[in-house]
Structure 1
Amino acid sequence: MSGATSATVDKKAVTQKKPFYRVLYVQVLAAIVLGIIVGWVSPELGKNEWIKAMGDGFVKLIKMVIAPIIFCTVVSGIAHISEVKKVGRVAIKALIYFEIVSTLALALGLIVGNVVQPGAGFQGQSNAAAVAGYAKQASEMRSIDFVLHVIPDTVVGAFAQGEILQVLLFAILFGFALLMGLGERAHTVRAFIDDVAHAMFGVISIIVKAAPIGAFGAMAYTIGRYGPQALGNLAGLIATFYVTALLFVFVVLGLIARFAGFSIFKFLRYLKDELLIVLGTSSSESALPQMMEKLERLGCSKPVVGLVVPTGYSFNLDGTNIYMTLATLFIAQAMNVQLSFGEQLTILVVAMLTSKGASGITGAGFITLAGTLAAVRPELLPGMAIVLGIDKFMSECRALTNLCGNGVACVVVAWWEGELDREKLRVGLDRDIDPTDFETAVAEGRGI
């Protein structure tokens, strides 16, 4: 009887709501607004290096634990699978989904760019020197280099440098080694990795409590450095890109989610904490660990989460895809260069490849744009300077769209593979979960 009473008390403690001012997304939203005000009213204070360090420091804290979390999650996911062929089946389904949805994102950017024509009649200044570094990086991107770069020189180096694709490769090999037979030792190692992963998610729950500080610093510096007037000259392109991204999320992803049996609106509400963190830091990586945790809590199986989400960060960049085709058309229109239907199809194909080759590179969206232009119409490369000044203001939207796309991809692949707990999905989408509340997760008995 006492045990039942204790369980009831624990359940009440778990379900008791926090005061609104202690909820993470409320704190992050308030920090973003405060950062905008500080950067606008006092640009010098906003540009202060210590203010900038708040945002940079938070992103570095998150990146510090991404590699070990990816390793533990992938290894554990593969090691818990009873059949080797099931891993390959999940991976193939994920890649098929990524290619289909990425093509839709690229096509949507082309369609909107042709209909709206945001670059038509543009009169602006070009700064070819500012974009030379990006063009040089793009010209050096080759498929063979990308493939060889996935293989780390040393395993320790992959973790030390935070090379996610390299860590992912080693984690897959390690997971298969456990799956294919170490007998009782495999169970011991797997249990140890599960415990490490559980501890790492505990670290994340502590780190994300600093998200409001990071969001404030990043937003104050952005507005202080570039000023609100920086949005004025090219507001048309920014607005077109944001509207296109919203169309993709609510129409394309919305229809996909509906087909899979869940609401995109409830799903975005479920990920509101992660979306606000990404908005404040302009980095989708800053929300990766807690998003993986929440997707597993939502009913997606551990193997699917461990394989689909990290892979999606390299192969399912929906926001980046929209940006590349839309920005390419904008530059062509601004420079009065007519692109034929065949050339636009070539852009779509080339962008599909270049978007994979820049994974993990700083300024990846801008670099992949340079790679696409260099491959299709090199004379458009100088026009990249037109959008260089506002690229920062579009990076947030790219990151947000990438995050939404990868979250939906994980649920859909889990459903496709029969590894989605429908009851958990229904209950999870109707609940309000704070990712900083690690104690609640422990009380619920959730495993990693």
Structure 2
Amino acid sequence: MSATTHIDAPALPKRGKSKPFYKVLYVQVLFAIVVGVLVGWLSPHFATNEWIKALGDGFVKLIKMVIAPIIFCTVVSGIAHIQDARKVGRVGIKALLYFEVVSSFALVLGLIVGNLFPVGHGLAAKPDAGAVAKYVDQASHMSAVDFVLHIIPDSVVGAFAKGDILQVLLFAVLFGFALMALGERGHRLRDVIDDAAHAVFGVIAIVMKAAPIGAFGAMAFTIGKYGPAALGNLIGLVALFYATSALFVVLVLGTIAKFVGFNIFRFIGYIKDELLIVLGTSSSESALPQLMEKLERLGCSKSVVGLVVPTGYSFNLDGTNIYMTLATLFIAQALGIELSFGDQVAILLVAMLTSKGASGVTGAGFVTLAGTLAAVNPALVPGMAIVFSIDKFMSEVRALTNITGNGVAAVFVSWWEGELDHDRLRANLSRNVDPSDVETAVTTG
């Protein structure tokens, strides 16, 4: 089936003189992360200064500042360019079906690895339940009904002010349908929204130049506060989680990528800038706007990207799913609580629901873990304190796996819809695109 697009995608960057390596964003971010680790290790007092922490927090806030308008403009534009309203529902159903299948693989993989490598046995842990009280309290107040009602904002302005992804997404979908129904009369407003989207992507490109500073601040503070010794005797769980996440990306996402017609390692190389930013900030939201822009450039349909990627930030959290099953087994092993086969099946079912309330913000995985443990076996909840000290180190891999999974999901659903430009896909996977390049980011074909 031939590939189709509804509006002009960002143009391919012109081949010219390549940048010096020290001006390439991912090199700068990688260098900043290394320096941050060294500063945090050698000078923890300096690294834990509130101004150092503010560097990382400030960068994340700069990115989150434009997430709501990016999602609104992208989704509205994508829907408004669609002639058949039924397509939106079709894409949504395909995306949710994909999310459920792949999320199940992530949950099952975490259980399998946790049973094969019971690294929690012999830990003889004595957890401090007080350290995790706020997370347990937060999880206990979010039922399934609350989550559904939370998607509906109290006001449109409030949804944008809070930057709630699902609330903005809901309003954008409704607004897109309304704009579509206007027909010719809505074309002028649609063009304005298209132009606004390119302008906001230009803001993103400017903000991205501060990514190395943000990555340095976030990493220096993390290492300075917790220190390399924070891993201690829990290094086994961290290593196991890293290995399991890598296995998921290579085997599960790699198989999906091969089925569609691209190489998962080339795809990872293509989004390496975003991955390094996520690594430095521990938040997959910090790379959401750039990821959406790059996926469009890669040959994915704008309407598919606009629907799949923002929705995936709450419904397709592969790294969080692996973490929840793996951490639940680890806690049970450390506390000496035997989990039967039925208990582990319950973990799968509960985790499938609780993971839907998480977002790409740092700490969300810990909140969903609290909800899962409380639903499966309340006796496991105090054990969250066992992994509390190392959660920051694990949140980076959760976010990396989440953003990679959402990128692959957008490509897969575009292919499923028959709207993936394979020629553009192959061409772009062999190119280096720096998201801090303003001219490249906002140029249209």
TM-score for both structures, normalised by structure 1: 0.95
Whether the aligned pair in 2 keeps the contact of 1:164 and 1:360 (CA below 8 Å) is: no
1:172 paired with 2:181, answer no
* Deviation string, structure 1 residues 315-363 (Cα, Å, up to 9, x no partner): 0000000000000000000111111111101100100000012336762
1:421 paired with 2:424, answer no
Q: Which amino acid aligns with 1:438?
A: V
Residue 119 of structure 2 corresponds to which residue in structure 1?
Answer: 118
Q: Which amino acid aligns with 1:45?
A: F
Change (3 A) 1:38 1:360: closer
Residue 5 of structure 2 corresponds to which residue in structure 1?
Answer: none
Shift, 1:185, TM fit: 2.4
Q: Separation in 2 of the partners of 1:360 and 1:275?
A: 13
Change (3 A) 1:441 1:394: closer
Whether the aligned pair in 1 keeps the contact of 2:308 and 2:409 (CA below 8 Å) is: yes
Residue 359 of structure 1 corresponds to which residue in structure 2?
Answer: 359
* Deviation string, structure 1 residues 225-275 (Cα, Å, up to 9, x no partner): 111110122100000000000000011100111011100000000000000
Q: Which amino acid aligns with 1:18?
A: K
Q: Separation in 2 of the partners of 1:315 and 1:29?
A: 29
1:216-231 alignment runs, 5 A limit: 216-231=216-231
Change (3 A) 1:13 1:152: closer
Residue 329 of structure 2 corresponds to which residue in structure 1?
Answer: 329
Residue 16 of structure 1 corresponds to which residue in structure 2?
Answer: 17
Residue 55 of structure 1 corresponds to which residue in structure 2?
Answer: 56
Shift, 1:442, TM fit: 4.8
* Deviation string, structure 1 residues 122-155 (Cα, Å, up to 9, x no partner): 1334111111111111111111111111111110
Residue 31 of structure 2 corresponds to which residue in structure 1?
Answer: 30
1:80-95 alignment runs, 5 A limit: 80-95=81-96
Shift, 1:437, TM fit: 1.1
Change (3 A) 1:283 1:300: same
Q: Separation in 2 of the partners of 1:172 and 1:129?
A: 42
Q: Separation in 1 of the partners of 2:106 and 2:353?
A: 14
State the Cα RMSD in Å: 1.4
Whether the aligned pair in 1 keeps the contact of 2:202 and 2:438 (CA below 8 Å) is: yes
Q: Separation in 2 of the partners of 1:11 and 1:186?
A: 29
Q: Which amino acid aligns with 1:137?
A: Q
Shift, 1:11, TM fit: 9.8
Q: Which amino acid aligns with 1:32?
A: I
Change (3 A) 1:13 1:312: closer
Change (3 A) 1:337 1:11: closer
Q: Separation in 2 of the partners of 1:131 and 1:123?
A: 19
* Deviation string, structure 1 residues 266-287 (Cα, Å, up to 9, x no partner): 0000000000000001110000
Q: Separation in 1 of the partners of 2:176 and 2:303?
A: 11
Ranges in structure 1 where 5+ consecutive residues have no aligned partner:
1-9
Residue 4 of structure 2 corresponds to which residue in structure 1?
Answer: none
1:213-362 alignment runs, 5 A limit: 213-359=213-359
Q: Which amino acid aligns with 2:108?
A: A
Ranges in structure 2 where 5+ consecutive residues have no aligned partner:
1-10
Q: Separation in 1 of the partners of 2:13 and 2:197?
A: 27
Shift, 1:121, TM fit: 1.0
Q: Which amino acid aligns with 2:347?
A: I
Q: Which amino acid aligns with 1:49?
A: E
Whether the aligned pair in 2 keeps the contact of 1:14 and 1:440 (CA below 8 Å) is: no
Q: Separation in 2 of the partners of 1:217 and 1:33?
A: 11
Shift, 1:438, TM fit: 2.1
Residue 105 of structure 2 corresponds to which residue in structure 1?
Answer: 104
Change (3 A) 1:386 1:397: same
Q: Separation in 2 of the partners of 1:202 and 1:288?
A: 14
Runs of 4+ in 1 over 2 A off after TM superposition: 10-16, 357-362, 440-443
Residue 192 of structure 2 corresponds to which residue in structure 1?
Answer: 192
Whether the aligned pair in 2 keeps the contact of 1:58 and 1:211 (CA below 8 Å) is: yes
Q: Give secondary structure in 2 for the equivalent of 1:15.
A: coil
* Deviation string, structure 1 residues 18-39 (Cα, Å, up to 9, x no partner): 1100000000000000000111
Q: Which amino acid aligns with 1:218?
A: A
Residue 131 of structure 1 corresponds to which residue in structure 2?
Answer: 132
Shift, 1:12, TM fit: 9.7
Q: Separation in 2 of the partners of 1:156 and 1:271?
A: 32
Q: Separation in 2 of the partners of 1:124 and 1:246?
A: 28
1:143 paired with 2:144, answer yes
Q: Separation in 1 of the partners of 2:133 and 2:319?
A: 24
Residue 8 of structure 2 corresponds to which residue in structure 1?
Answer: none
1:412 paired with 2:412, answer yes
Q: Separation in 2 of the partners of 1:413 and 1:329?
A: 33
Q: Which amino acid aligns with 1:158?
A: A
Q: Separation in 2 of the partners of 1:151 and 1:213?
A: 36
Q: Separation in 2 of the partners of 1:93 and 1:159?
A: 27
Whether the aligned pair in 1 keeps the contact of 2:205 and 2:441 (CA below 8 Å) is: no
Shift, 1:179, TM fit: 1.2
Q: Which amino acid aligns with 2:85?
A: V
Q: Which amino acid aligns with 2:44?
A: P
Q: Which amino acid aligns with 1:97?
A: Y
Whether the aligned pair in 2 keeps the contact of 1:163 and 1:360 (CA below 8 Å) is: no
Q: Separation in 2 of the partners of 1:303 and 1:356?
A: 22
1:377 paired with 2:377, answer yes
Q: Which amino acid aligns with 1:165?
A: L
Q: Separation in 2 of the partners of 1:100 and 1:394?
A: 24
Q: Separation in 1 of the partners of 2:165 and 2:441?
A: 27
Shift, 1:15, TM fit: 3.1
Shift, 1:441, TM fit: 4.2
Change (3 A) 1:441 1:46: closer
TM-score for both structures, normalised by structure 2: 0.96
- Percent identical pairs in the alignment equals 72
Residue 391 of structure 2 corresponds to which residue in structure 1?
Answer: 391
Residue 6 of structure 2 corresponds to which residue in structure 1?
Answer: none
Q: Give secondary structure in 2 for the equivalent of 1:233.
A: helix
Deviates more, 1:355-364 or 1:368-377: 355-364
Q: Separation in 2 of the partners of 1:411 and 1:271?
A: 13
Whether the aligned pair in 2 keeps the contact of 1:55 and 1:215 (CA below 8 Å) is: yes
